[in-house]
Amino acid sequence: MSLKQVSVLLLLLQLSCCFRSGSCGKVLVWPMEYSHWMNLNVILDELVRRGHEVIVLRNSASIFLDPSKHTGIKFETFPIDATKEDMEMFYMQFVNMWTNALQDSYWEYLPALQKIFSEYSDSCEGLCKAAVLNKKLMEKLQESKFDVLISDAVGPCGELLAELLKIPFVYSLRFTHGYTMEKYSGGLSLPPSYVPIILSDLSGQMTFMERVKNMLFMLYFDLWFQIFNEKRWDQFCSEVLGRPVTFYELVAKADMWLIRSYWDLEFPRPTLPNVHFVGGLHCKPAKPLPKDMEDFVQSSGEEGVVVFSLGSMVSNMTEERANVIASALAQLPQKVLWRFDGKKPETLGPNTQVYKWIPQNDLLGHPKTRAFVTHGGTNGIYEAIHHGVPMVGLPLFAEQHDNIAHMTAKGAAVRLNWKTMSSADLLNALRAVIHDPSYKENVLTLSRIHHDQPLKPLDRAVFWIEHVMRHKGAKHLRVAAHDLTWYQYHSLDVIGFLLACVAITTYLVIKICLSVYQKLVKTEKKKSD
C-alpha cells in the first residue's frame, strides 16, 4: 500500500470516528493578528485534523491571515476601508506608543495607556461594524448553521456575532486589560490583595505599597473601561440587536474561557469550572535545524549558543540600540543567533549571526542553547519554559513586563530596561543566567511543572471546544454569579437584611426590657405608697 493510500485511509478512519461520535461540526472564528493568531492557529489546525470544518472571518487588510498558507482552514473575507499597509502601520504605531509610555512615570503612563486603548477600541469597533453590518456576509453566516464560535476577547465582536447567530461561543485569550472583562462578566474572583492585576508589572508576593499600587491599577482599569468603553459598546450592541443590551451581558454568555497561561507562568488564583488554562499549547519538540544554521551552532563547541529574538512585531530598532546590543554579544564566548532586520551594527562581532527569521522553538530545544534573550511575549516565554532555557528579558509592551516580572520572581530570568540598558548590563545579565546554576535549575523546575499535566494543553483546549459543541453550550458550568447584581454578588442585601433583623430584635428586646422595668418600678411605688 502506497503512502498516499495510507494517508487517505487514515483520514477516512478519522472522519468515520468523528461522524459516529457526532462530534464533527462547523466552527466560526473571530481572530486577532500577530502572536494571538499564531497561537489560535494551532488550535484550529488541530480541529481541522479531527475532522471539523473551520471558517475564519478575515478582513481584507489582514496581515497574518493569508488563505494561501492554510490548506485546511477556510476563510471568509469581508471588505474594510484600509489596506494591509495601513494595518501594519497602525500596529507599529500602537507598539511604539506603548513602548514609549512605559518609560514614563505612572502618572504619565496611565493617561498614555488610556489613549492607546481608546485608539485600539476604535479600531476594534470599526472592524466589528464592517462585519456585522455587512448584510450579505451575515446572511451567509446565518445559513451556515455553525456549532460554535471561537473568539479572542481582546478584540470585541465575537460575543455579538454569537448572539446574532444564536450559537455558543468560546474565548481564547491571554488576558483583557486589567482583567476587567473576566471579573465583570465571568464572575471570576481576582482579589487584588494577592492576585497581581495584569499590566501592573507585579508578582504574586507583594509588599504593602505594591498592594496599594495593585488596588489603584484595578480601580483605574475598571473605571476607565466603564466610562470610556462599556457605554460605547452597550450602545453599539443594542443598535445592532435592536433591543437594549449591555456588553457585559453578551460577554457573560461565554461558555468557555481558554486562558493561554498556566501555573508555570502564573501565580495561583481562584478559577471557575468554565475557565481552563492552556498555556504553551503551541509548544512542540524541536526539529532539526537548517544545515547552515546547525553548522554554526555546532561550531560553538562546549560554550554553546545564545538565541536573541524580540518577536514578530519588532523587526528593527535604532542604530544606537543595535550597536549597544551587538557590542555586548561580541564579548560572549558563546555563538549568538540574532533575529534582526535592519542595518548591520558596526559593533557586530564574528560570533554573532543575524537572521530576518529564526526557527525559535527548534533553537530553544537544541542541546547547545544556553540562554534566550526575549522581549517576553507569551509564546516565546512558553517555548523557553518548555525546553528549560533561562532568559534575559527586555520587555517592550503589553503583558511582556508582567511575563518577565513573573519569570524574575520565579528565578528563571534577569530583567533589563530596554531603553536604558548598557552593553555591560546585557553582558552581565547573560553571564549570570549562563553561569549561575540557579537560573537553569529554576527554569527546569518550571519546565517539569509544564510537562506534568494530565492532558497536553492543546488536547485540553480542543476537548473543551468539542465539549461545548457536543452539549450545544456549557450552561451546566455557568456559575449563578452571572444572574446576580453587584450587591447580591457581595451579599450586601443579605448582610443588610441580617443587620436589620439584629437591629429590630435588639430594639424589641430593649423595648420589652424597658416596659417590664417600668411596670416593676410602678408596682414597687404602689407597694411603698
The mean per-residue pLDDT over the stretch 328-347 comes to 93
Strands of the 53-59 sheet, one edge to the other: 74-78, 53-59, 26-30, 148-151, 169-173, 256-259, 275-277
Distance CA 404, CA 119 (A): 26
Is it the case that residue 53 has pLDDT exceeding 80? yes
Predicted pLDDT of residue 399: 85
The mean per-residue pLDDT over the stretch 439-464 comes to 97
For 183-203, the pLDDT digits (tens) are 877 667 788 899 998 888 888
Is it the case that residue 327 has pLDDT exceeding 70? yes
Among the ranges given (63-72, 133-142, 267-276, 389-398), the one the predictor scored with the smallest mean pLDDT? 63-72
Check if the beta carbon of residue 334 is closer than 8 Å to that of residue 301. Answer: no
Query: What is the average pLDDT value for the chain, to the nearest integer?
Result: 88
Distance CA 423, CA 320 (A): 11
Residue in this structure with the C-alpha cell 501555573, named with its chain if needed? 263
Tell me the pLDDT band of 506, cut-offs 50, 70 and 90: very high
Contacts 24+ apart (CB under 8 A), 521-526: none
| Backbone CA torsion sign across 459, 251, 201, 195 | negative
Using a pLDDT cut of 70, give the percent of the chain over it.
Answer: 90
Residue 6: C-alpha distances to residues 13, 18, 46, 52 (Å): 11, 18, 20, 21
Predicted pLDDT of residue 23: 58
Predicted pLDDT of residue 20: 40
Residue 358: C-alpha distances to residues 180, 278, 308, 341, 355 (Å): 36, 25, 9, 11, 6
Predicted pLDDT of residue 100: 66
Predicted pLDDT of residue 199: 82
Is it the case that residue 82 has pLDDT exceeding 80? yes
Is it the case that residue 359 has pLDDT exceeding 70? yes
Check if the beta carbon of residue 75 is closer than 8 Å to that of residue 67. Answer: yes
Is it the case that residue 143 has pLDDT exceeding 90? yes
Is it the case that residue 125 has pLDDT exceeding 90? no
For 154-176, the pLDDT digits (tens) are 888 999 999 999 999 999 998 88
Distance CA 469, CA 464 (A): 9
For 266-309, the pLDDT digits (tens) are 999 888 899 999 999 999 999 999 999 999 999 999 999 999 99
Predicted pLDDT of residue 480: 85
**Grid cell listed for 312:** 514578530
Positions of E strands within 390-503: 391-393, 413-415
Predicted pLDDT of residue 153: 86
Predicted pLDDT of residue 410: 96
